[in-house]
Amino acid sequence: MEIYPVKGTHDIYDKDAYIYQDIESRLIFVASIHNCNEIRTPIIEHTNLFVRGVGESSDIVNKEMYTFEDKGGRSITLRPELTAGIMRSIVSNKLYANADLPLKYFYRGPCFRYERPQAGRYRQFQQFGVEYVGVSSYLEDAEIIALGYHALMVLGLTNVKVYINSLGDEQSRKNYREALKEYFAKHIDKMCADCKRRYEVNPLRILDCKVEADQEIIKDAPKMSDYLSEDAKLYLNNVISLLKEIGIEVIVDNNLVRGLDYYTGVVFEYHAEKIEGLDNVGALGGGGHYAKLLKEVGGPDLEGVGLAFGIERLAYVYTHVHGSKYANIGPDFYLIGLNQEIIDKNFSLADMLRSKGFVIDTNYQVKSVGSLLKLAVKKNAKFAIIIGEEEMEKGRVNVKNLRSQTQTSVELEDLAQTLESLIIEYEEESAKLALEDVK
Ligand code: HAM
């Protein structure tokens, strides 16, 4: 019986795994220069954490959670996002007690949402995010938005737009909710079943609806900006001008409400600009300010702001932008032994070369030099090191550059040193070729 992957999941291997690793290490670098520490929390949490944290009116809690009863009869959920779990961890470990605020954490890991799989939408996907907790001003909101923007620049994704909105303070949101209820009351009969539910629990959610016919109605709905208090407007403008000062232009989008209930105040999203051949995979990342989430999960009254990127979506755009940059992942040297005795000796030679930091692969089966060279090319090795009986006797090896096909005879004694300079030359040559490619 063939067992298929679960719908909406995918395996990440070889080139893709390399790209994921590269993306994550760049994101970690950007989080680190903002002095964030890492936090790792469990994939499973008690269901009520998400019900209270992410919110009962959100689609995530309503329809998308992987929830099950464990053997002890507890209701457990695979995390649909990480922010709520991080708040729970901050409370469980009293992380706020001895630290200077704000706490600054970055995190990464899998999330689970039972959504309809489509381009850029999976049921298991990876997030990378950052949370600042114990924040006190618009400066932290601006810093988080800038951090996310810099992360995209470090990934070379310059074709990105940042959208921003404010959900205002409690009174602004209350007034706006009433205005929306009044407006949608006239239309709700014609709208989708989800919108009917949203109308009852949280009419703001209707603005998030993707159904085309509903969007026509949403287009003329009252705008949040008309209901913002003066303080909330000033706060949003302060964030926008701070970002402008450092060269980040953001676009105000009045319909940006985000799909989670914990946001208050500033919310934002990063989208890749439409370019030829690039599917619309939705937001690359998003986040916002949350004033009550920590308190909601049993902690002190501290506000937070954070963001998360979807690694699958970043990887998709990244691959599109950088093309075949990773086509050549492979060992530095493929060590070829032409008989069993040499293959046995190569075991320790490979070990010595790896200890010098070279990426080494080698053959453990006797095969012809021709087929082993073919294998080295298939593995994308930069060089093959060929050792036959004759070479062994002379204490020399042949090193073949698999790109230029040139071959050098090298004394075994000087091997590590010579390989070092060969790799440097190879990389310089690669840089030159890449430059010519761009021209
Ligand atoms: P979110 O907008 O639900 O926010 O998810 C963040 C990012 O995760 C999205 O922008 C998208 O790139 C990715 N994502 C979401 N769902 C999927 C999916 N089904 N398949 C692939 N990628 C997906 C949050 O999760 C908040 N916790 C962000 C945050 C952090 N707010 C404050 N702090």
The pLDDT tens digits for 29-40 are 999 999 999 999
Q: How far is Cα of residue 228 from the mean position of the Cα atoms in its chain?
A: 32
With bands split at pLDDT 50, 70 and 90, how would you rate the model's confidence at 437?
low
Q: 315: Cβ–Cβ under 8 A, 6 or more apart, which residues?
A: 16, 19, 20, 23
Residue nearest to atom 17 of ligand 1 (CA): 121
Average pLDDT over residues 100-127: 96
Residue 130 to residue 107: CA distance in whole angstroms? 6
What class has domain 330-438?
A: alpha beta
pLDDT score recorded for residue 277: 84
Tokens of 327: 């086509």
Q: Provide the β-strand partners of residue 149.
A: none
pLDDT score recorded for residue 326: 67
pLDDT surpasses 60 at 226: yes
Instruction: Tell me the percentage of the chain whose pLDDT exceeds 70.
Output: 98
Residue 149 to residue 30: CA distance in whole angstroms? 10
Mean pLDDT (the chain) is 94
**Structural element, H or E, at residue 43:** none
The pLDDT tens digits for 366-390 are 999 999 999 999 999 999 999 999 9
pLDDT score recorded for residue 330: 92
The pLDDT tens digits for 127-146 are 999 999 999 999 999 999 99
Q: Please give the distance, rounded to the nearest whole angstrom, from the Cα atom of residue 232 to the centre of ligand 1.
A: 25
Residue nearest to atom 20 of ligand 1 (CA): 121
pLDDT surpasses 90 at 103: yes
pLDDT score recorded for residue 189: 93
CB 386 within 8 A of CB 338: yes
Instruction: Tell me the percentage of the chain whose pLDDT exceeds 90.
Output: 81
The pLDDT tens digits for 175-225 are 999 999 999 999 999 999 989 988 988 898 898 888 889 999 999 999 988
pLDDT score recorded for residue 62: 87
Q: Please give the distance, rounded to the nearest whole angstrom, from the Cα atom of residue 149 to the centre of ligand 1.
A: 16
The pLDDT tens digits for 344-353 are 999 999 999 9
Residue 199 to residue 181: CA distance in whole angstroms? 7
With bands split at pLDDT 50, 70 and 90, how would you rate the model's confidence at 327?
low
Torsion angles phi and psi, residue 208, rounded to 5:
-85, -5
pLDDT score recorded for residue 407: 95
pLDDT score recorded for residue 436: 76
Average pLDDT over residues 398-420: 94
The pLDDT tens digits for 277-301 are 888 899 999 999 999 999 999 999 9
Is residue 121 in contact with ligand 1, taking CB distance under 6 Å?
Answer: yes
pLDDT surpasses 90 at 340: yes
Residue 385 to residue 397: CA distance in whole angstroms? 7
pLDDT surpasses 90 at 323: no
**Structural element, H or E, at residue 107:** strand 103-112
pLDDT score recorded for residue 50: 97
The superfamily CATH assigns to domain 14-157+273-324 is Bira Bifunctional Protein; Domain 2 (3.30.930.10)
Is residue 316 in contact with ligand 1, taking CB distance under 6 Å?
Answer: no
Q: Is the dihedral of CA 397, 399, 405, 407 positive or negative?
A: negative
Residue 300 to residue 305: CA distance in whole angstroms? 15
The domain spans of the chain are 14-157+273-324, 330-438
Q: Please give the distance, rounded to the nearest whole angstrom, from the Cα atom of residue 336 to the centre of ligand 1.
A: 47
pLDDT score recorded for residue 438: 57
CA 407 to each of CA 211, 288, 397, 424: distance values in angstroms, whole numbers, following the listed order: 63, 58, 10, 16
Residue 109 to residue 83: CA distance in whole angstroms? 12
Q: Give the single-character DSSP code of 201.
A: H
Is residue 308 in contact with ligand 1, taking CB distance under 6 Å?
Answer: yes
Residue of 260, 279, 292 to mutate, ligand 1, most atoms within 8 A of C-beta: 260
Tokens of 173: 């949101």
Q: What is the largest CA-CA distance in the chain?
A: 92
Kind of pairing between the strands at 37-38 and 103-112: parallel
Closest-lying ligand 1 atom to the alpha carbon of residue 121: 20
pLDDT score recorded for residue 229: 92
CA 424 to each of CA 185, 255, 354, 429: distance values in angstroms, whole numbers, following the listed order: 69, 53, 17, 9
